[in-house]
Amino acid sequence: MCGIVGLFLKDRGLEPRLGSMLTDMLITMTDRGPDSAGIAIYGADNPAVSKLTVQSDSPDQAFATLEADLGAALDSPVHLRRKDTHAVLEIPRGRLSEAAAALAGISPGIRVMSSGDTVEIYKEVGLPTEVAERFDLRAMSGTHGIGHTRMATESLVTTMGAHPFNTGADQCLVHNGSLSNHNRLRRKLRREGMHIETENDTEVGAAYLTWRMQNGASLGEALEGALTDLDGFFTFVFGTKDGFGVVRDPIACKPAVMAETDQYVAFGSEYRALVNLPGIEAARVWEPEPATVYFWSHSDTPTPTEKAA
Amino acid sequence: MQTIDMATTPLRDLNATLQAQAEATNLTAWEIENPRGSHAIAVGLDAPIEVTVKGSTGYYCAGMNKQARVNVRGSVGPGVAENMMSGTVVIEGDASQYAGATGHGGTLVIKGNASSRCGISMKGIDIIVHGNVGHMSAFMAQSGNLVVCGDAGDALGDSIYEARLFVRGSVKSLGADCIEKEMRPEHLALLADLLERGGCDARPEEFRRYGSARQLYNFNIDNAY
């Protein structure tokens, strides 16, 4: 059992409250996943900047000279913003893989939580309320975000085993369920050149979706592909720079509830997670159908499988 | 009218209060405010009382019900009226998966749609759904009636024993050992009564009946209707 939440804002006036609304939803899902918690927030798009969110178990030491060291390696100014065990590194737009490679040389103990233009991922072991407090998640603003409370089944309870999993620029996945063919698929994806860090099943799901999109699939096609290529139980919420997608396996035993108003689209593992949202009493509330892909996008020209805000 | 506000009353106290109502209680009408998706509301009741939940609920609402009538003015999460023995449960909105699972008796009315596995392993309960039901509904259904005024999803009645399934709309597919059966006068009469109890504005003649081909289990004539 795990808990998933997601919130996609249509009303830009709510953007300063995204972190606070999503944190409330996340904490309500504590019963479904008290091991660890994580959140991905898509913030303002600064066209000059890309971002790496990194983590260290000894952040005082690891982050002390990181800003200067990475700046020197990239020969360009880097801005570091620390939050507890995490730090967001703002680097020149488009130099993400270069920066990630440089980081490995500077400090091998540093782990990359997320990489992209607008996404920041914070995740740690502990109760969702503690995790939210440590990273001051309530203060965050953004256009959309997804979160996860974990009750581990497939891999260790560690920072790296927590969701969301980021496997491509601005792409991340949260998952309720368990995949049964992840070992074989991990070997296959690694042969295809995908970077997979952990023994966790969800990371393989995330890498699968990223791999499909790197090979020309739209998000909708990648999520459709998951229905045939992934074996096991899953309710997925997949975040991208523009929005998020939802898909459930054909058996659909892992719960999901969605709500839509003129102001937002919200996802929760249970209706409880949605009850504090503004105007929920009048929202259209429904259960996503099994084996059906849903997508909401801020993009002006969404692909045929996306739904524009 | 007794009112219990879940914003101030813990769930266990709410259920203990309702469960304490005896056969001869004169406190017959109860309203529950602020359910806010909570789980296990109004479970294990065993008195002829009427409980109205003013909002949507989480898992297992009205589970193991006996005698009581439970109305939900909203939608319900998974497992509503699970293992009901008698009484009536009426949902104004939608029901999530396995509504009415293993129910032995009583009536469950869902005025919206029910999702997957509605009536799984039903053992005598009557379930009337105004909208659609999802896949694997009435899986291993043993006894009772499932009425669907809308459409049914994949694998309806898979591995069914002796329950009767009535569907007005389309059936995406039938499960193993489930077949369409003729609608005889006694079935039309039974269905008319079920539709009336469910408050459905539908005519029995619009429905098709499905049931067991009796090839998959050791058929015992004493179980037959």
State the ipTM, two decimals: 0.92
- Give A64's pLDDT tier (boundaries 50, 70, 90): very high
- Inter-chain residue contact A272 with B78, CB threshold 8 Å: no
Q: Which tens digits make up the pLDDT trace of A232-275? A: 999 999 999 999 999 999 999 999 999 999 999 999 999 999 99
Q: Which tens digits make up the pLDDT trace of B42-78? A: 999 999 999 999 999 999 999 999 999 999 999 999 9
**A136 and A74 housed in the same domain:** no
Q: Which structure tokens are listed for B80?
A: 């509503």
State which of A117, A142, A157 marks the end of a domain. A117
Determine the structural domain holding residue B103 and report its residue range. Answer: 2-214
**A37 and A160 housed in the same domain:** yes
- CATH code (residue A83): 3.30.70.3400
Determine the structural domain holding residue A166 and report its residue range. Answer: 3-41+127-308
Structural domain count of chain A? 2
Is the per-residue pLDDT at A47 higher than 80? yes
Structural domain count of chain B? 1
**A95 and A197 housed in the same domain:** no
Secondary structure of chain A in HEC code, one letter for each residue: CCEEEEEEECCHHHHHHHHHHHHHHHHHCHHHCECEEEEEEECCCCCCEEEEEEECCCHHHHHCCHHHHHHHHHCCCCEEEEECCEEEEEEECCCHHHHHHHHHHHCCCCEEEEEECCEEEEEEECCHHHHHHHCCHHHCCCCEEEEEEECCCCCCCCCCCCCCEEEECCEEEEEEEEECCHHHHHHHHHHCCCCCCCCCHHHHHHHHHHHHHHCCCCHHHHHHHHHHHCCEEEEEEEECCCEEEEEECCCCCCCCEEEECCCEEEEECCHHHHCCCCCHHHCEEECCCCCCCEEEECCCCCCCCCEEC
**A199 and A52 housed in the same domain:** no
> Would you say residue B99 lies in a domain?
yes
Nearest CA in chain B to A268: B37
Residues of A within an 8 Å Cβ radius of B = 250-253, 255, 257, 270-275, 285-287, 289-290
> Would you say residue A29 lies in a domain?
yes
pLDDT of residue B217: 77
How crowded is residue A153: how many other Cβ atoms within 10 Å of its Cβ? Answer: 11
**A83 and A190 housed in the same domain:** no
Whole-model pTM?
Answer: 0.94
Using CB atoms, which residue from A275, A285, A290 is nearest to B75? A285
| Interface with chain A: mutation pick from B6, B39, B41, B56, highest number of A CBs within 10 Å | B56
